[in-house]
């Protein structure tokens, strides 16, 4: 008899305690275990307070909730508005063109727009807010410039931008 994937698949860590239902805090220490029920393995996650009242577990371990990053939707909205204004008033300024393309890449990572194509020196995007396709200049940008612009955008928009988020 061959096992189906659904028969052995164990769910991921939950964001809340299986005992009391309280959401786990960022980097909180917790206990995880595998319970055998109805012929299947099921994962359970417990806060320190509920660990003593846990059911009989097949296997268990101590772990830590990953560091949770808050998504700052208002900051993404501000970044989107900034990009809309860049689109509305195109410029020949090379620095401004670089900021526009990096903002587009960041918004694509945040699923606020979609990159639908490119041509030499041009980037085609689909805007999520109106579904329209637009083209923007795509100038060459050195890695050093990307890093400087990333730090500036983090400060201006109070965003935490990972190094890979502005990668092409």
79/112 Cα distance (integer angstroms): 10
Across the beta sheet with 40-46, the strand order is 40-46, 29-37, 59-64
Q: What is the pLDDT of residues 101-137, one digit of tens each?
A: 988 988 888 888 999 998 899 999 999 889 899 999 9
pLDDT tens-digit readout, 51-78 = 998 888 888 999 999 887 655 555 778 8
The domain ranges of the chain are 12-64, 73-166
Q: At 159, is the pLDDT very low, low, confident or very high (cuts 50, 70, 90)?
A: low
State the pTM of this model.
0.53
């Amino acid at each position: 008899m061959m096992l189906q994937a659904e028969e052995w698949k164990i769910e991921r860590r939950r964001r809340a305690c299986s005992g009391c239902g309280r959401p786990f805090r960022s980097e909180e220490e917790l206990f995880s275990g595998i319970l055998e029920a109805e012929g299947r393995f099921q994962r359970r996650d417990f806060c320190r307070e509920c660990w003593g009242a846990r059911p009989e577990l097949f296997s268990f371990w101590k772990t830590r909730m990953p560091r949770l990053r808050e998504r700052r939707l208002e900051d993404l909205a501000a970044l989107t508005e900034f990009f809309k204004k860049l689109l509305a008033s195109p410029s020949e300024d090379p620095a401004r063109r670089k900021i526009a393309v990096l903002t587009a890449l960041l918004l694509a990572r945040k699923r606020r727009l979609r990159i639908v194509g490119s041509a030499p020196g041009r980037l085609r995007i689909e805007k999520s807010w109106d579904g329209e396709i637009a083209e923007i200049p795509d100038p060459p940008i050195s890695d050093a410039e990307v890093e400087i612009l990333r730090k500036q955008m983090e400060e201006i928009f109070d965003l935490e931008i990972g190094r890979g988020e502005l990668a092409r």
